Amino acid sequence: MPRYECVGVFVWYNREMFKGATGISFKKGIYIFLTVLLVEMCGFIIHELVSMEVLAMLIKNGMTVPYFHIAGFFYSPLPPYVFLILFLIGIFGGIFLALHWWRMVYIEHRHWLNWYRHY
């Protein structure tokens, strides 16, 4: 029976429960999640910068600005498929980036502290 502690409405189980058939530890899961979140935030910033450029171009040429309702909570002058493509690139790119850096830092031990030993 796993041990747990009640914290508010959340129940935090012990770490052994998170090592299932995939072998992903709790620390690695958090690492992947936070990397995906970071890449998604960077993708959102890129989306907004591209939106500002499109708006400037449309206003400069005297054209009307179409707005698309995306994800139920914000409007954008870019079509929804651009948001979807950036969102998917953020998820898959974040997973691959996290797995790459996990291998470099925790498996190969290539930290900045001993960088001179490898190169």
Domain that residue 29 falls in? 22-118
Q: Is residue 36 part of a domain?
A: yes
Q: Is residue 7 part of a domain?
A: no
Q: Is residue 44 part of a domain?
A: yes
In this prediction, what percent of the chain has a pLDDT beyond 70? 72
Q: Is residue 85 part of a domain?
A: yes
Q: Is residue 91 part of a domain?
A: yes
pLDDT the model gives residue 113: 65
Q: What is the mean pLDDT of residues 3-8?
A: 46
Structure tokens at 109: 């031990």
pLDDT the model gives residue 115: 61
Q: Which of 59, 77, 60 is nearest to 69 (CA)?
A: 77
Geometric angle at alpha carbon 18, from 30 and 14, rounded to 5°? 100
Q: Enumerate the β-bridge partners of residue 12.
A: 5
Model pLDDT for residues 17-63, shown as the tens digit of each residue: 445 556 678 888 899 999 999 999 999 899 889 989 988 998 899 88
Contacts of 82-89 spanning 24+ positions with Cβ under 8 A: 82/47, 82/50, 83/47, 86/43, 86/44, 86/46, 86/47, 87/40, 87/43, 89/43
Which of the pair, 114 or 3, is modelled with greater confidence? 114
Q: Is residue 98 part of a domain?
A: yes
Whether the model pTM is above 0.85? no
Q: Is residue 8 part of a domain?
A: no
In total, how many domains does the chain have?
1
Model pLDDT for residues 69-103, shown as the tens digit of each residue: 776 777 888 888 888 898 999 999 999 999 999 88
Q: Is residue 14 part of a domain?
A: no
